[in-house]
């Protein structure tokens, strides 16, 4: 069994690891074992469906081992990092389980990521391969992958998923289908080992990669499946980008597989497509970000000719603060139980419970899923706040990481000597144990669940030839929660950059579409922050306050 610890991974202290094992949080099961056990018990049950596939557990298990064998032939092995950029389709599950089988680590990229994100992620993870689709939503991912391969020195292979027999493969790229070999023997793995790398929401500079082990992640998946009452008849619809922690594990696709249920995939979360998928696949549960939940609720409230949603029992909303008013309407409109989910890829996930009183479901973001989760709420000096007061949320526990992958600088900022992770969230704890999320301490914007680093976007704008200085702030938005406002000081006030030119400039730099500014405001001089040395943080606060006042 390869037992070497992944360099750059911060383990839990031994006494806590022992405790988490003794308390049966960590069970020693790997993802590959989870799938093979299900395939042995219920081979015929349907594991994954999408518009064109319908795979049983036996089929999925065979496919994962088949692809794993082909990837090993290519030289991909234990601990090798592999960028996975795939949309919501059945092959996503096949690919990640193939990597799990060989102990190679998927690095979960999103379909919206572009060169500016993928190159730093590839370099920070020293990825050896990238698996993506040739095209998706008319975007040429094959060309993007080729660019990434040329700019990430460690990247040797690009494997493309394609439905088009005419696809041409650039040098270094190949058809994923050519690596579906006759399944061979799989290596034995250690469940305490890192299984994959997730990406942190709002990162800048060196991306923050989140190492999750089989043991810790499967525990969070199991608890999530219990809390959401999943069983063999459950059908989870992945409609948010499935590489994200929420649709992956809260309970997400892995929760559905853990429970022996079915994963249904759709790449389009809008009501027209997703409602049809619910009817077609008999979906029982799904997770949404608040702006999507609003679209669904409004469509359902409008009534008229609509697919049958009666199979749907639970709709989860998370990723960003759900307005109370929306939370109140959602259950009745969709005929479901609403569940709020407040979580982070670093670990801690809180849920309202399915039998909670409506007041809790509407007004809180729930409580931690594990008895062994520890939380504390502190002021800016680190002292615990009075009960019920707002403060910074810190956490540690059996599925919260102790450090980012190979990033000592970020670790110094986010983890203290006792292993507490600073979430960056401002919360209040109610006497009933539920948390209410009040906002963020850090400089990133939560645009309807998508996280945008102000600093990262400012760095792009500063490259614009017509911009002398730029400050990005989040401004309140009734639908998205926050939108992105760029304050810019033009080089030439007579010809200030416009929203259109700024957006097309930023797009040209190859960044994810969700990071595009929603508004550009030109100002001649940035206001004084009154703290001597200009602090961008203070400047952001001043501009945000000014914007709110308007
Ligand atoms: C989820 O994970 P990330 O890593 O993309 O983002 C985490 C951050 C949290 O620190 C918080 O600022 C925000 O997203 N957030 C929420 C929230 N859920 C997440 N803010 C307010 N209300 C909520 N319900 O977004 C994520 C991971 C697992 C499950 C659900 C969401």
Q: Where are the domains of the chain?
A: 28-45+54-214, 268-440, 444-544
* 324 SS3 class: helix
Q: Which fold has domain 268-440?
A: Rossmann fold (3.40.50)
Q: Whole-prediction pTM value? A: 0.95
Is the minimum distance from the CB of 319 to ligand 1 under 6 angstroms?
A: yes
477 CA → ligand 1 middle, Å? 18
Spatial distance between the Cα atoms of 486 and 489, rounded to a whole number of angstroms? 10
Is the minimum distance from the CB of 440 to ligand 1 under 6 angstroms?
A: yes
Spatial distance between the Cα atoms of 371 and 397, rounded to a whole number of angstroms? 9
Spatial distance between the Cα atoms of 27 and 453, rounded to a whole number of angstroms? 37
The arrangement of strands across the sheet holding 347-351 comes to 54-56, 46-49, 262-265, 235-238, 285-288, 314-318, 337-344, 347-351, 367-368
Minimum CA distance residue for ligand 1 atom 14: 319
Spatial distance between the Cα atoms of 527 and 506, rounded to a whole number of angstroms? 25
Hey, what are 134's tokens? 């040739």
Question: Which among 101, 103, 95, 96 has a CA at the least distance from the CA of 79?
Answer: 103
Neighbours of 439 (CB within 10 A): 13
| CB proximity list for 472: less than 8 A, separation 6 or greater | 445, 452, 454, 455, 457, 458, 461, 484, 485, 486, 487, 517, 540
Q: Given this model, what pLDDT does residue 364 score?
A: 98
Residues across the chain:
550
264 CA → ligand 1 middle, Å? 23
Spatial distance between the Cα atoms of 523 and 470, rounded to a whole number of angstroms? 10
Ligand 1 pocket: which of 319, 399, 426, 443 to mutate (most atoms within 8 A of CB):
319
User: Long-range pairs for 308-311 at CB < 8 Å and ≥24 separation?
Assistant: 308/279, 309/275, 309/278, 309/279, 309/334, 309/335, 310/335, 311/235, 311/278, 311/279, 311/282, 311/283, 311/284
Spatial distance between the Cα atoms of 224 and 390, rounded to a whole number of angstroms? 27
Is the minimum distance from the CB of 245 to ligand 1 under 6 angstroms?
A: yes
Ligand 1 pocket: which of 318, 346, 437, 480 to mutate (most atoms within 8 A of CB):
318
Q: Supply the CATH classification number for the domain 28-45+54-214.
A: 3.40.50.980
Is the minimum distance from the CB of 391 to ligand 1 under 6 angstroms?
A: no
Neighbours of 37 (CB within 10 A): 14
20 CA → ligand 1 middle, Å? 24
Q: Are 346 and 292 in contact (CB under 8 A)?
A: no
Q: Can you tell me which residue has the tokens 């060196």? A: 206
DSSP string computed for 239-271: -S-TTSHHHHHSSHHHHHHHTT-EEEE-S--SH
Is the minimum distance from the CB of 345 to ligand 1 under 6 angstroms?
A: yes
183 CA → ligand 1 middle, Å? 38
200 CA → ligand 1 middle, Å? 10
Torsions phi, psi of 148, nearest 5? -60, -45
Q: Given this model, what pLDDT does residue 524 score?
A: 87
Torsions phi, psi of 159, nearest 5? -115, 125
CATH class label, 444-544: alpha beta
Torsions phi, psi of 16, nearest 5? -75, -40
Q: Given this model, what pLDDT does residue 90 score?
A: 98
Question: Residue 330: CA atoms inside 13 Å, Cβ hemisphere, count?
Answer: 29
Q: Which phi-psi region, left, alpha or beta, contains residue 439 (left: φ > 0; alpha: ψ -120 to 50)?
A: left
Hey, what are 114's tokens? 């572009």
Q: Given this model, what pLDDT does residue 527 score?
A: 79
Q: Which residue(s) pair with 368 in the sheet? A: 350
Minimum CA distance residue for ligand 1 atom 16: 320
Is the minimum distance from the CB of 425 to ligand 1 under 6 angstroms?
A: yes
Q: Which residues of the chain have pLDDT under 50?
A: none
| Atom of ligand 1 lying closest to residue 366 CA | 24
* 63 SS3 class: helix
Q: Given this model, what pLDDT does residue 541 score?
A: 81
DSSP string computed for 460-504: HHTTSTTEEEEEEEEEEETTTEEEEEEEEEESSTTSPPPHHHHHH
| Atom of ligand 1 lying closest to residue 200 CA | 4
E strands, 381-534, in order: 391-396, 421-429, 435-440, 444-447, 450-453, 467-477, 481-490, 519-522
Hey, what are 324's tokens? 């109370």
pLDDT tens-digit readout, 76-104: 999 999 999 999 999 999 999 999 999 99
Burial call 143-182: b when 16+ CB within 10 Å, e when fewer? ebbbebbeebeebbbbbbbbeeeeeebeeebeebeebbbe
Hey, what are 16's tokens? 């806590």
39 CA → ligand 1 middle, Å? 32
Spatial distance between the Cα atoms of 349 and 216, rounded to a whole number of angstroms? 13
Q: Given this model, what pLDDT does residue 1 score?
A: 59
Domain 268-440 and domain 444-544, same fold? Reply is no
Q: If you compute the radius of gyration of the chain from its CA atoms, what whole number of angstroms results?
A: 23
| CB proximity list for 57: less than 8 A, separation 6 or greater | 35, 38, 39, 42, 43, 44, 45, 46, 47, 260
Alpha helix positions (H), 152-304 = 214-227, 245-249, 252-258, 271-281, 290-302
Spatial distance between the Cα atoms of 40 and 406, rounded to a whole number of angstroms? 38
pLDDT tens-digit readout, 120-135: 999 999 999 999 999 9
Is the minimum distance from the CB of 464 to ligand 1 under 6 angstroms?
A: no
């Amino acid at each position: 069994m390869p037992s070497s610890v992944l360099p750059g991974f911060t383990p839990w202290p031994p006494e806590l690891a022992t405790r988490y094992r003794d308390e049966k949080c960590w069970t020693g099961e790997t993802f590959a074992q989870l799938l093979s056990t299900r395939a042995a018990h219920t081979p015929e049950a349907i594991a994954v469906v999408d518009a064109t596939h319908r795979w049983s557990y036996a089929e999925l298990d065979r496919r994962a081992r088949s692809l794993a064998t082909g990837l090993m032939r290519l030289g991909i092995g234990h601990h090798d990092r592999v960028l996975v950029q795939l949309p919501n389709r059945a092959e996503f599950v096949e690919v990640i389980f193939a990597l799990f089988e060989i102990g190679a680590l998927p690095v979960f990229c999103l379909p919206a990521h572009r060169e500016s994100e993928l190159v730093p992620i590839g370099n920070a993870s020293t990825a050896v391969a990238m698996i993506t689709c040739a095209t998706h939503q008319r975007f040429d991912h094959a060309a993007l992958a080729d660019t990434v391969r040329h700019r990430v020195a460690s990247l040797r292979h690009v494997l493309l998923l394609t439905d088009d027999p005419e696809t041409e493969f650039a040098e270094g790229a190949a058809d994923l289908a050519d690596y579906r070999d006759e399944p061979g023997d799989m290596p034995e793995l250690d469940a305490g080992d890192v299984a994959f790398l997730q990406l942190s929401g709002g990162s800048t500079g060196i991306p923050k990669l989140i190492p999750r082990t089989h043991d810790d992640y499967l525990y969070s998946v199991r608890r999530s499946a219990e809390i959401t009452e999943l069983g063999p008849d459950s059908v989870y619809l992945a409609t948010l980008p499935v590489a994200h922690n929420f649709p992956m594990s809260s309970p997400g696709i892995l929760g559905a597989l853990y429970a022996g249920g079915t994963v249904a995939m759709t790449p389009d979360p809008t009501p027209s497509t997703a409602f049809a998928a619910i009817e077609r696949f008999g979906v029982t549960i799904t997770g949404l970000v608040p702006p999507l939940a609003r679209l669904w609720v409004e469509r359902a409230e409008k009534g008229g000719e609509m697919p049958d949603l009666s199979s749907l029992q639970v709709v989860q909303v998370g990723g960003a603060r759900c307005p109370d008013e929306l939370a109140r309407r959602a259950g009745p409109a969709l005929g479901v139980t609403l569940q709020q989910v407040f979580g982070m890829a670093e670990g801690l996930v809180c849920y309202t419970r399915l039998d909670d009183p409506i007041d809790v479901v509407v007004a809180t973001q729930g409580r931690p899923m594990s008895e062994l989760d520890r939380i504390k709420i502190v002021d800016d000096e680190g002292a615990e706040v009075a009960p019920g007061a707002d403060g910074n949320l810190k956490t540690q526990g059996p599925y919260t990481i102790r450090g980012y992958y190979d990033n000592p600088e970020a670790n110094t900022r986010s983890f203290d000597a006792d292993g507490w992770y600073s979430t960056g969230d401002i919360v209040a704890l109610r006497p009933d144990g539920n948390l209410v999320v009040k906002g963020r301490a850090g400089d990133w914007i939560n645009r309807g669940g998508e996280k945008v680093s102000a600093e990262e976007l400012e760095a792009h704008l500063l490259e614009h030839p017509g911009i002398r200085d730029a400050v990005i702030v989040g401004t309140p938005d009734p639908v998205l929660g926050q939108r992105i406002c760029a304050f810019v000081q033009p080089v030439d006030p007579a010809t200030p950059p416009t929203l259109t030119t700024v957006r097309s400039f930023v797009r040209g730099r190859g960044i994810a579409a969700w990071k595009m500014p929603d508004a550009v405001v030109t100002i001649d001089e940035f206001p004084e922050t009154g703290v001597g040395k200009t602090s961008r943080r203070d400047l952001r606060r001043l501009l945000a306050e000014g914007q709110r006042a308007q």
